[in-house]
Each structure stands twice: as C-alpha cells, then as structure tokens.
Chain A
Amino acid sequence: MPGGRLDERRPVIVGVYATEQALALPDRSAMSLAIQAAKGAAADAGLCLADIDGAQLDWPGPGGVPDDGSSWARMFGRDLRWTSDSMLDNSGVRGLLKASAAITAGYADTVVVGGCRLVTRGPDNSPIGAGAPVEFADVWGSYVVAQFALVAARHMHEYGTTSEQLAQVAATIRNNGTTNPEAMMFGRGPYTVQDVLASRMIATPFHLLDCCVVGEGGAAFVVTTAERARDLPHPPVAVLGGGMEYHQAPYANPALYREVGQIGKDAAARAYEMGGVAPRDADVLCLYDPNSFEVIRQLEALGVCQEGEGGPLAASGAIAVDGEHPVNPDGGCLSYAWNGTQQMTLKVVEAVRQLRGTAVHQVPGARLAAVGTAGSGAQHYELAVLAR
C-alpha cells in the first residue's frame, strides 16, 4: 500500500452501512434510522455492539439528552470510552478523523460514527438551513443555495467558468445515480447538459438540476485499529492521512470566493503529505456536491488541477466513472442522497465500497480514495485519504 507500513494502532475502517435514502421516510423516526445505521455498520464489520467502545452518533431521541453523545452509552450493553456531542463531529470525514485521533491516541479502540438527523422535518429546515435565525442573512432571502451561488458567480467572473461546464458536472454525477438502484433519483434521467440548462433557474448560476436532492436517511461506519481488523471479515481500509479547515461559523456572513475559494487546500496538502501521496494519485474522489460548482472548486483546491482550470477539466469527461479523476460514482448528493449531516458519512461509505471493490459503479482496481466533506456555504472542509 502507498504511504508505508501499517502500525498496530493505525486507524482503519472495517464496517459501513447506509439505510434506505428517500425523499421522505414517513414511517421511520430519526432514532430508528440511527439505530439501524449503527447496528448495520457493526454487523458489516463482523462486530457486536459490545465490541464497540466509542460512539460518535447523534442522539435524536426520544429519551436521553439531545446533543449529548453519552446518551448512547445505555444502548451498547457496556460503558463507552469515547463519545461526541456535536452533529458535524458525528458524520463524514470530520467524524472519521476525530475517531481516528482517539484510536491512535488510545482513548478508544473501536468507534462507530454516523446516525441520522431528519432535517426535513425539524427546525433545522428554517430558511437558511442552519437552525437558528441569522439576522443579517434571512432578511435578504439568503439561503444555502444562494450562498454557494455567490461563490460560483465570482469564480465564473474571474476564470471564465461557464454554465455549460457546471451543467456537465451535474449531468455526469446525476447520470451515475440514474443507474444506481440505491439512489433517490434511480431511474430518472439520463440527463444532458442541455437538460440541466433547460431546468428552471433557482439562483444564478444554478438551475434546478445543478442543485442536490433533499431527503432522509442514515449512515454509519466503524473505525478500529489495524491490529483489531486482522480477524474481521472485510479487507481494512486504512486512513492514510487527513486534514480539517474551519473558516467561520455557517451562514452569518456570506462566503466570499477570495476567502473560501481555496478552502480545502491546506487540509488536502496536510492529508496527502501524511499519506505520502499526491492529489492526482487518487483513483476515485468522493466529494461534497451540494451543487455542480462545488465539485469544480474542490478539483482546484485539492490540487487535482490549478485554480481556474476546474471547469474545463470537469467538462473534458475527467470526472466520469471511466475518466481520469472519477467523482462520486454513486451519484453523490446530486442524485444518490442528501440527508442533512449524514450525507457526509455516505461519502465515506462510497469510498470504502470502492476500495473493497464492491461499489455499484466500481472504478476498476481502485486502491486510493480522497474523501472530502464540507458544508455551510463552503465555510469548512475536511479531507481524508483512504487506501486498501
């Protein structure tokens, strides 16, 4: 494997699970989906719940204490050594890296990360998508799509990125979902660039089909030590490196391209150096795609191409499953699923499936994956480099 030997406590992912992802799951509670995700990931890892000594899971109730991760301790048949209380610490790459830090340091041996929040049903679905009122944003009709649009518009102005290039990203990733039976948009499409451009305008430059789906579902994964992974059923997926960047709190201020255009660059540089690999080495990229443009921005920030070259690169076919830099073969948030915070966990799930060789749209021989999670108008970014 790239990046050197596995030592005993090297964090590895040994179990993944995604619940059904749908526009709405009216018969399911967030708690039920979170339990299903946690149990599913443990079972996939060949573990029982009592083998798990750390939980980074949201507690959506009832019972317990909302936002208090230790509420999970009573569910695992044993006391826990490690919990986490914040929703973004309980999902995706941020959750993975914090669990990995705990495992490497020895605070816990086996941590489950994930859960479920039903943002479409609760107060989280307020205008901006952030929960609490935001005094200087809500009044202007600003919301998450518009805040990303302000970043995209500036990039287009500076580099000549076109709506057609954005539409090519949307069509490529959406068409991966068209043929993924697990995707919310399975069977819809395929879409052409013209289809995307002809869909109704949401906030320039984003048409409806440039924007991700919104739905419900849960997901989880299990991280443990390389030593513990040896007698588990799946080949372990190693966390070679990672990095995190936080620019500012979400939504209160608009994301300015000059401040967030390169967010992820430092995290990526750190993650790739740790892993001893280069950005262009990744066989598959699982990136945050709340809209078409954010993929172009990440291709640049993560060093796959130079700043300003992401549009032409994406339009060249490079991000297709059979391209040089496949992005989101599962259909991503654009077509597979966006379910609130756990969409980030789905990025880890897809990367692990790719590295195991069991993905729906398998990149042949994938051995190295880059997983990026972000949000909040691209005001934070986390990147992990994973390897089989």
Chain B
Amino acid sequence: MSRPVPVPDALTAPFWAAAARCELVVPECSACGLRFFVPEPACPRCLCERWEYVACSGRGTVYSVTVVHRTPGPGFQTPFALSIVDLDDGPALLTHVVGCDPEKVEIGMPVRVVFRRLTERIVLPCFTPELIVDSGA
C-alpha cells in the first residue's frame, strides 16, 4: 500500500492545481479578509461563503514539529519532520520540513516552500530551512 493520496474536490481542486504549478495558494475571505486553511465552505471567522484563493509568498516559521517514527500506515519513509508552519502572509499549515535532518528542524526556524511531486497530479507543498544570508556585520 502507498501513502494516502489527496482526492481533490470542488473546494480543494484549485489548491492542488496551483501546487502543480509550484504556487502556494490559500483561501482569503472576500468579506473580512481572513486567510484560512483548510479550505472550508465558509470563512471560519465571519461565515461568509464568498472567498477566493490568493497566492502566498511561501515563507514562514516553524510553529511546532514532531519527528514521526511510527507512521499511521504504509508508504512513508521514516523518520520525517511533521510540522506546523506559520506563513508570513497566511495561516498555519500542516506540512513536512524537508531538505535537512528531521531532528534538526526546530521551532522558530525560518522556512520556505518547496514543491515535491507525489503523483502525476498531486504535488505537495513542503518546506525547507531558509538560507540565512549573513550580513557580515
């Protein structure tokens, strides 16, 4: 068996279509302006049913991380850094921080989005530690 593959529906298809173009988009409420995740039928702050996907910078900070050794099912390579990332210009997302030793992922670490292909149709927005440019000061 393989890792669970998302099955896009009317709410989520645009998110996955954008990810396949290496763009990170999140719902933004047309009434109150809240950016939220996961996509819901209505804004979770004001219950407005009108919202649209908007692009995010893809930069954020690790809010929390757990290094998962035992997975809920087959198809995952362990260990991995299951993380919550606070987007600089959007909501918190569940994701993986990749591109480094999972044990090195720390709360507060700046990260940026990196896209990893899962299937022909599904590309996952993962995150990777931001390269810090030392000002030399």
> With A139-B4, A139-B5 known to touch, is A146 a contact of B107 (CB < 8 Å)?
no
Does A193 interact with chain B (Cβ within 8 Å)? Answer: no
For the complex, give the distance between the alpha carbons of A250 and B108 in Å: 26
Which chain B residue has the least Cβ–Cβ distance from A206?
B66
Complex CA distance for A133 and B73, rounded to whole angstroms: 13
Residue B128 at the chain A interface, CB threshold 8 Å: no
B104 at the interface (CB under 8 A from A): no
Please report the C-alpha to C-alpha distance between residue A203 and residue B67 in the assembled complex, in whole angstroms: 5
| A14 to B69 Cα, complex, angstroms | 45
Query: A143 contacts B124, CB within 8 Å?
Result: no
Q: Are B70 and A202 in contact (CB under 8 A)?
A: yes
CB distance from B64 to the nearest CB of A (A): 4
How far apart are the CA atoms of A201 and B80 in the complex, in Å? 13
Q: Among the listed stretches A105-113, A148-156, A268-276, which one makes contact with chain B, having 4 or more residues with CB under 8 Å of it?
A: A148-156
Residues of B within 8 A of A128 (CB): 72
| A149 with B95, Cβ < 8 A, contacts A133-B4, A154-B107, A254-B84 known | no
- Nearest chain A CB to B91 CB, angstrom units: 9
**Interface contact A150-B3, CB-CB below 8 Å:** no
Compute how far the CA of A130 lies from the CA of B8 in the bound complex, rounded to whole angstroms: 19
Does A8 sit at the interface, judged by CB under 8 A? no
| Interface residue? A194 (CB, 8 A) | no
Scan residues 240-274 of chain A and give those whose CB is less than 8 A from a CB of chain B.
248, 252-254, 256-258
Q: Are B66 and A201 in contact (CB under 8 A)?
A: no
**B:1-19 near A, CB below 8 Å:** 3-9, 12
CB atoms of A141 and B92 under 8 A apart? no
Known: A140-B96, A253-B94. A146 touches B68 (CB 8 A): yes
A192 to B20, CA, bound (A): 50
Interface check A135, CB cutoff 8 A: yes
Query: How far apart sit A316 and B79, CA to CA, in the bound complex (Å)?
Result: 33
**Residues A137 and B66 in contact, CB atoms below 8 Å apart:** no
Q: How large is the interface on A (under 10, 10 to 19, 20 to 34, 35 or more residues)?
A: 20 to 34
CB distance from A130 to the nearest CB of B (A): 11
Shortest distance in angstroms between A305's beta carbon and chain B's nearest beta carbon? Answer: 22
Contact A146 B38 (CB under 8 A): no
Instruction: Decide if B118 is an interface residue (CB 8 Å cutoff).
Output: yes
Closest to B84 in A: A254
Asked whether, in the complex, the Cβ of B94 is within 8 Å of the Cβ of A135, the reply is: no
**Does B82 sit at the interface, judged by CB under 8 A?**
yes
| B73 adjacent to A146 (CB under 8 Å) | no
Chain A residues, CB < 8 A from B84: 150, 254, 256
User: What's the Cα separation between A137 and B71 when bound, in Å?
Assistant: 12
Asked if A141 contacts B107 (CB within 8 A), the reply is no
Interface 1/0 per residue, B66-101 and A, CB below 8 Å: 111111110010001010100000001111100000
* Total cross-chain contacts (CB, 8 A): 105
Q: Write the nearest CB–CB distance from A290 to chain B, whole angstroms.
A: 15
Contact at A150–B82, with CB atoms within 8 Å? yes
A143 closest partner in B (C-beta):
B72
Q: Is A127 in contact with chain B by the CB < 8 A criterion?
A: yes
In the bound complex, CA of A139 to CA of B95 (Å):
9
Residues on A with beta carbons closer than 8 Å to the beta carbon of B38: 135-136, 252-253
Contact present for B66 and A139 (CB under 8 Å): no
Whether a CB of chain B sits under 8 angstroms from the CB of A280 is: no
Could you say which residues of chain B place their CB within 8 Å of the CB of A141?
Answer: 3, 68, 71-73, 76, 80, 82
Task: Flag if A200 contacts B94 (CB, 8 Å).
Answer: no
With a cutoff of 8 Å between Cβ atoms, the chain B residues found around residue A252 in the complex are 38
Judged by a CB distance under 8 angstroms, whether B37 is at the interface is yes
**Nearest CB of A to B59, in Å:** 19
Q: In the complex, are the beta carbons of B72 and A157 less than 8 A apart?
A: no
| Residues of chain B with a CB closer than 8 A to A146's CB | 66, 68, 72, 82
Q: Which residue of A lies closest to B65 (CB)?
A: A153
Q: Does B115 contact A (CB under 8 A)?
A: no
In the assembled complex, the Cα of A257 lies from the Cα of B84 at a distance in Å of: 11
Q: Give the docked Cα–Cα distance between A239 and B72 (Å).
A: 38
Report A72-113 CB contacts with B as 1/0, cut-off 8 Å. Answer: 000000000000000000000000000000000000000000
Given contacts A133-B4, A133-B7, A140-B82, contact A203 B69 (CB under 8 A): yes
Contact A142/B94 with A157-B107, A204-B66 known, Cβ cut-off 8 Å: yes
Residues of A in contact with B (beta carbons under 8 Å apart): 127-129, 133, 135-143, 145-146, 149-151, 153-154, 157, 200-205, 248, 252-254, 256-258
- 9 other A-B residue contacts (CB within 8 Å) besides A139-B124, A142-B94: A127-B72, A133-B4, A135-B7, A136-B93, A143-B71, A153-B64, A201-B70, A252-B38, A258-B63
Give chain B's interface residues, CB within 8 Å of chain A.
3-9, 12, 37-38, 44, 63-73, 76, 80, 82, 84, 92-96, 107-108, 118, 122, 124
